[in-house]
Protein backbone atom coordinates (compact mmCIF):
# COMPACT_ATOMS: atom_id res chain seq x y z
CA UNK A 1 0.00 0.00 0.00
CA UNK A 2 1.51 3.32 -1.02
CA UNK A 3 1.15 6.29 1.26
CA UNK A 4 -0.35 9.47 -0.12
CA UNK A 5 2.08 12.38 0.28
CA UNK A 6 1.05 15.01 2.77
CA UNK A 7 0.32 18.57 1.68
CA UNK A 8 3.62 19.63 3.27
CA UNK A 9 5.53 17.02 1.26
CA UNK A 10 3.81 18.10 -1.96
CA UNK A 11 4.81 21.70 -1.28
CA UNK A 12 8.31 20.69 -0.21
CA UNK A 13 9.05 18.63 -3.30
CA UNK A 14 6.77 20.34 -5.85
CA UNK A 15 5.56 17.01 -7.18
CA UNK A 16 8.99 15.44 -7.74
CA UNK A 17 8.71 11.87 -9.01
CA UNK A 18 10.05 8.81 -7.21
CA UNK A 19 12.73 8.55 -9.89
CA UNK A 20 13.97 12.10 -9.18
CA UNK A 21 13.84 11.41 -5.43
CA UNK A 22 15.91 8.22 -5.82
CA UNK A 23 18.45 10.09 -7.94
CA UNK A 24 18.69 12.80 -5.27
CA UNK A 25 19.40 10.16 -2.62
CA UNK A 26 22.24 8.78 -4.77
CA UNK A 27 23.67 12.28 -5.28
CA UNK A 28 23.61 12.87 -1.50
CA UNK A 29 25.76 9.78 -1.06
CA UNK A 30 28.26 11.04 -3.65
CA UNK A 31 28.66 14.76 -2.99
CA UNK A 32 31.48 16.56 -4.77
CA UNK A 33 34.31 18.03 -2.68
CA UNK A 34 32.94 21.52 -3.37
CA UNK A 35 29.43 20.52 -2.21
CA UNK A 36 30.94 19.00 0.93
CA UNK A 37 32.83 22.23 1.63
CA UNK A 38 29.72 24.41 1.38
CA UNK A 39 27.62 21.86 3.28
CA UNK A 40 29.95 22.30 6.28
CA UNK A 41 28.62 25.89 6.49
CA UNK A 42 24.96 25.20 5.72
CA UNK A 43 24.17 22.11 7.81
CA UNK A 44 22.81 22.26 11.36
CA UNK A 45 21.03 25.60 10.78
CA UNK A 46 24.29 27.59 10.91
CA UNK A 47 22.94 30.44 8.76
CA UNK A 48 20.26 32.42 10.61
CA UNK A 49 18.81 29.23 12.03
CA UNK A 50 17.59 28.16 8.58
CA UNK A 51 17.46 24.51 7.57
CA UNK A 52 19.08 23.70 4.25
CA UNK A 53 18.64 20.38 2.49
CA UNK A 54 21.25 18.97 0.14
CA UNK A 55 20.49 17.41 -3.23
CA UNK A 56 16.82 18.24 -2.82
CA UNK A 57 14.23 17.15 -5.43
CA UNK A 58 12.00 19.95 -6.75
CA UNK A 59 9.61 19.09 -9.58
CA UNK A 60 11.84 17.60 -12.33
CA UNK A 61 15.05 19.09 -10.89
CA UNK A 62 17.49 18.35 -8.10
CA UNK A 63 18.80 21.44 -6.32
CA UNK A 64 22.29 21.34 -4.85
CA UNK A 65 20.96 23.02 -1.68
CA UNK A 66 17.47 24.19 -0.76
CA UNK A 67 15.88 26.10 2.12
CA UNK A 68 12.12 25.61 2.02
CA UNK A 69 11.27 28.28 4.60
CA UNK A 70 12.54 31.09 2.38
CA UNK A 71 12.32 29.18 -0.93
CA UNK A 72 16.00 29.55 -1.80
CA UNK A 73 18.05 27.25 -4.03
CA UNK A 74 21.84 27.43 -4.02
CA UNK A 75 23.56 25.97 -7.08
CA UNK A 76 27.26 25.24 -7.48
CA UNK A 77 28.59 25.41 -11.00
CA UNK A 78 31.58 23.40 -12.11
CA UNK A 79 33.42 23.76 -15.42
CA UNK A 80 30.69 21.90 -17.33
CA UNK A 81 28.27 24.77 -16.64
CA UNK A 82 30.32 27.13 -18.85
CA UNK A 83 29.39 25.48 -22.16
CA UNK A 84 26.78 27.33 -24.25
CA UNK A 85 24.33 24.41 -23.98
CA UNK A 86 24.63 24.23 -20.21
CA UNK A 87 24.41 28.01 -19.80
CA UNK A 88 21.10 27.94 -21.67
CA UNK A 89 19.89 24.91 -19.69
CA UNK A 90 20.79 26.61 -16.37
CA UNK A 91 18.98 29.80 -17.40
CA UNK A 92 15.84 27.84 -18.32
CA UNK A 93 16.06 25.80 -15.12
CA UNK A 94 16.37 28.96 -13.03
CA UNK A 95 13.36 30.45 -14.83
CA UNK A 96 11.30 27.33 -14.08
CA UNK A 97 12.26 27.37 -10.41
CA UNK A 98 11.48 31.08 -10.17
CA UNK A 99 8.10 30.37 -11.77
CA UNK A 100 7.49 28.15 -8.73
CA UNK A 101 8.36 31.10 -6.47
CA UNK A 102 11.85 29.85 -5.67
CA UNK A 103 14.85 32.20 -5.74
CA UNK A 104 18.10 30.77 -7.17
CA UNK A 105 21.65 31.91 -6.46
CA UNK A 106 24.67 30.39 -8.16
CA UNK A 107 28.34 30.17 -7.30
CA UNK A 108 31.24 28.84 -9.31
CA UNK A 109 33.14 25.99 -7.71
CA UNK A 110 36.25 28.18 -7.64
CA UNK A 111 34.44 30.79 -5.53
CA UNK A 112 33.61 28.18 -2.91
CA UNK A 113 37.11 26.73 -2.85
CA UNK A 114 38.98 30.04 -2.93
CA UNK A 115 36.76 32.27 -0.79
CA UNK A 116 34.22 30.31 1.22
CA UNK A 117 33.79 33.17 3.71
CA UNK A 118 32.55 35.53 0.96
CA UNK A 119 30.22 32.86 -0.43
CA UNK A 120 28.74 32.28 3.03
CA UNK A 121 28.36 36.06 3.50
CA UNK A 122 26.51 36.36 0.18
CA UNK A 123 24.22 33.47 1.13
CA UNK A 124 23.55 35.06 4.51
CA UNK A 125 22.66 38.40 2.86
CA UNK A 126 20.27 36.69 0.45
CA UNK A 127 18.68 34.79 3.34
CA UNK A 128 18.22 38.03 5.29
CA UNK A 129 16.56 39.65 2.27
CA UNK A 130 14.20 36.72 1.80
CA UNK A 131 13.36 36.57 5.49
CA UNK A 132 12.57 40.29 5.49
CA UNK A 133 10.37 39.80 2.43
CA UNK A 134 8.34 37.37 4.47
CA UNK A 135 7.79 39.96 7.20
CA UNK A 136 6.94 42.92 5.00
CA UNK A 137 3.43 44.26 5.30
CA UNK A 138 1.48 44.85 2.12
CA UNK A 139 1.26 48.49 1.01
CA UNK A 140 -1.41 50.26 2.99
CA UNK A 141 -2.79 53.64 2.06
CA UNK A 142 -2.29 56.36 4.63
CA UNK A 143 -5.46 57.82 6.16
CA UNK A 144 -6.46 61.22 4.77
Output the pLDDT for position 86. Answer: 84
Higher per-residue pLDDT: 144 or 54:
54
Which residues are bridge partners to 61 per DSSP? Answer: 58
Return d(Cα 31, Cα 28) in angstroms, integer. 6
Output the pLDDT for position 8.
61
Could you tell me whether strands 103-108 and 53-58 are parallel, antiparallel, or unpaired per DSSP bridges? unpaired
Please compute, for residue 114, the number of CA atoms within 13 A of its CA located in the half-sphere on the CB side.
Answer: 5
The domains of the chain, with CATH numbers, are 7-125 (3.40.960.10)
Rounded Cα distance, 56 and 42, in Å: 14
Which pLDDT score is estimated for 109? 96
Residues sharing a CB contact under 8 Å with residue 119, sequence separation 6 or more, in sequence order: 38, 107, 111, 112
80 vs 17 pLDDT, higher one: 17
Residues 12-51: tens digit of each pLDDT: 999 999 999 999 999 999 999 999 999 999 999 999 999 9
Summarised one tens digit per residue, pLDDT across range 87-144 is: 899 999 999 999 999 999 999 999 999 999 999 999 999 999 999 987 654 554 544 4
Whether 97 contacts 73, CB under 8 Å:
yes
Amino acid sequence: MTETPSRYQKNLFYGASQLITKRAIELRKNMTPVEKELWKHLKNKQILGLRFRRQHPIDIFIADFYCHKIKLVIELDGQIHSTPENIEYDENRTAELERLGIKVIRFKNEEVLENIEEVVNQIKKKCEQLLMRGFQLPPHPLPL
